[in-house]
Structure formats: structure tokens, C-alpha cells
Amino acid sequence: MLVDITPVSKIDWESKGARAYSVPFTSDGYWARSRMPLYVASSGKPGRTIVAIGGTHGDEYEGPVALKNLINGFDADRLVSGRLIVVPVFSVTAFYADQREAAADGINMNRAFPGKADGSISYRMARFLTDEVLSRSDVVIDIHSGGRGFQIVPTMSFHSVDDPELKRQFKETAFLFGTPFTMIYTSSMGTGLLTEEAEKMGKITIGSELGYGASTDLDGVRWAQHGVLNVMRHYGLLDEPVEDLRLPDKWGPAQRLVQNIDIDTWVTAPIAGISEPLAPLGAYVTAGTPVARIHDFYRWDEPGIDIVADQDGFVLCRKFRAKTEQGDVVMVIAREVD
Ligand SMILES: [Zn+2]
């Protein structure tokens, strides 16, 4: 059944039961309206509000697929407290154009927060999410993948925070997904991040990287879909035991918390060329180990230039597309922390 557009003022956030909405956003340059999918399932009782978002970047598919599966398989009568809010595809025009930035206005939705009521369509969508969705939340899950750009080990993520109790809650929530790695990262690579905004509002906020290459990863979809259910179990929305989602045969039983918040230690290309990884994803490397090589094919009679790790740690991600510009990040190495 196609869902009619729903003015924001008509969204029922509170009543018991589940509802699917298409929230309209008027296009900037012509007569049209983009529809943002929104799902609200409420127990009608007090409790936590869990928000799950996919498609903040349009070429990252694990989140949208997992959340669509979750919504369509979910019976709201299972809710014993609180509320689930899902935006399976957030940057709608980016998603349909199979690209990172919104096709409508070229904006990277994960740099558009907190949004602007009088901005272009992406800024207005961000403003809606901030004012109407994040404000109602207790826990925010923003599901990302590597997109076209980066191949990343399966990882949940959260920002570095000073408050140890908040960090403990972030870690506990992220580990419910069962991924082999959880990364503490820095927001210094960009501003206007969705997760940064949610954190500022005091919400338990986690992100993820659950696939790469603008594909749909089997394990990534499973972690995203069942991880959100685990978060609902943990916070009392579902009266069910938490499911063990680890994949020990592939990644071992350990769930590692790793950190790289110093962008000066990210491995960047000294010249333009074709990049070659010298260490596999997930491997532990020590400082001084060559981890990537850049080949200049205009100088094909010379060996490539090796780049060495400048710290011990796990190879967390690598540049997926071989063609590399000078200064591109080709690898991120992260050390294990408590
Ligand atoms: Zn992303």
C-alpha cells in the first residue's frame, strides 16, 4: 500500500500501535515534493524512545535494507514500553541517485546538522530530524557503511566523550550489535554531523560502518537489523533476551573497542597514483610496518612508494577505489582501548 503524504503536524507520535508516514519536503527549484519515509511504533506506555536511521548517505545500503526488513517484520504488540522511530531512508534524493550527496541540492546530509528551516531541502530535512525526531529520542542509531569510498571492517562507532559514564553507555549499546570492532572516532574530519547533534542533545548516540562498495553486505544487514532489536531489548522496549550476534568463526569471539581520534595518524597518500594495500583489513600491525603502497604509472619503471604505519593497531579501513589523489586517506589504523 502506498503511503499518502502526511503533514508534520498530523504525525501521531504517541498512540499505541504502528504507523507508516511519508513526510513531504518541497523541492527548491520546481513543483515537486520528496517524501521521507517515517515509521513510528509506540507501546502507548512510558519508556525509552529508540531512533534508527538509514540512508543518511545515499550509497550505503545496509541500513535502509535492514530497517525496511525490520519494519515489515515487526508487530507493534511486542512493545512492552517506550517507542521505536525509524527513518529507513533519510537523504531521499541521494538514495535514489545512488550517491553520497543529495541529488536535489548536492548537500552531504551528514554535514547539514542541525539543519535550517529556511535552507535548501537537505537542510530542511535535517532540521525536521533534529526538532521532531532526535528531540523525542533517548537512543539514536545512525547506520552507515563505507559507501563507494572505503572498505571498513564491520564496526559500530561513537565519538570520544569526556564523561566516563556516558562512554560506558555508548560502548554497552554499540556492543549489542555483535560486530568484531567498535571504533571511537573524532568529529574533526567534518562538522554538522547527525551523531554530533544527537550527542549535544544528550542522547546515547552510536553510528556504524557495516559494508562497503555501495553494495549490500549479508552480515552487515543482519547486524543492523538484529542489532536494533537488541537495543530495544536492552532498553526494555521488548521483553526478550538479547541475542548473541557475534560471528566467532569469521572474526573470533572478541569484540574490540578501538580508537583513532588523531587525524594526523591517518595514513594519507604522499603522491597521486594507484593505491595497493599491504596489510589486510582487521590485521594487527606495528609502527614502521609498510601498510600501503602508491604506484605512479607514469613512472612504471620505478617501485611504488611504501607508506608505513606510525602506530601499533588494527587496520580498520582502507581506501576502496584504487585511484588515489595526493592527500587521500588510504588507511586508518586504530589501537585497542578499554
Ligand atoms: Zn555514511
What separation in Å is there between the alpha carbon of 232 and the centre of ligand 1? Answer: 23
Tell me the CA–centroid distance for residue 88 and ligand 1, in Å: 14
What's the predicted TM-score (pTM) here? 0.95
Place of cell 583489513: 281
pLDDT at 287 over 80: yes
Confidence grade of residue 188 (pLDDT, cut at 50, 70, 90): low
Q: Where is pLDDT greater, at 29 or 130?
A: 130
**100 CA distance to ligand 1 middle (Å):** 7
DSSP 263: G
Is the pLDDT at 1 greater than 80, yes or no? no
* Digit-coded pLDDT (tens) for 22-49: 999 999 988 889 999 999 999 999 999 9
Cα of 60 vs centre of ligand 1, distance in Å, is: 6
Topology given in CATH for the domain delimited by 263-336:
OB fold (Dihydrolipoamide Acetyltransferase, E2P) (2.40.50)
Chain-wide mean pLDDT for the chain?
95
Q: Residue 34's beta-bridge partner residues? A: 25
Question: Is 70 exceeded by the pLDDT of residue 187?
Answer: no
Place domain 8-260 in its CATH homologous superfamily.
Zn peptidases (3.40.630.10)
Q: Tell whether the model's pLDDT for residue 186 goes beyond 80.
A: no
Q: Residue 112 contacts by C-beta under 8 Å, 6 or more apart in sequence? A: 119, 122, 123, 125, 126, 192
Model confidence at 203: pLDDT above 70:
yes
75-108 residue pLDDT tens: 999 999 999 999 999 999 999 999 999 999 999 9
Which ranges in the chain are annotated with CATH 3.40.630.10? 8-260
pLDDT bucket at 279, cuts 50 / 70 / 90: very high
Taking the mean position of all CA atoms in its chain, how far away is CA 201?
A: 18
Burial of 11 (0-12, 13-18, 19+ CB in 10 A): middle
Compute the distance from residue 224 Cα to the ligand 1 centre, in Å: 14
- Give residue-wise pLDDT tens across range 42-68: 999 999 999 999 999 999 999 999 999
> What's the whole-number mean pLDDT along residues 134-154?
95
In the reported structure, the alpha carbon of residue 144 is separated from the centroid of ligand 1 by a whole-number distance in angstroms of 4
Mean pLDDT of 199-218: 95
**Does an H or E element contain 194, and which?**
helix 194-200
Cα(229) to centroid(ligand 1), Å: 21
Check whether 190 has a pLDDT greater than 80: no
Give residue 145 CA to ligand 1 midpoint distance, Å.
Answer: 5
**pLDDT exceeds 90 at position 147:** no
Ligand 1 centroid, distance to 152 Cα (angstroms): 11
- 265: pLDDT confidence band, cut at 50, 70 and 90? confident
> With 0-12 CB in 10 A as exposed, 13-18 as middle and 19+ as buried, what is 215?
middle
pLDDT at position 85, please? Answer: 98
Reply yes or no on whether the pLDDT at 131 is more than 90.
Answer: yes
What is the CA(280)–ligand 1 centre distance, in A? 22
Centroid of ligand 1 to alpha carbon of 69 (angstroms): 20
Provide CATH 2.40.50.100 ranges for the chain.
263-336
Residue 260's pLDDT is 86
Residue 252 scores a pLDDT above 80: yes
**Beta-carbon count within 10 A of 50 CB:** 25
Whether the pLDDT of residue 189 is over 80: the answer is no
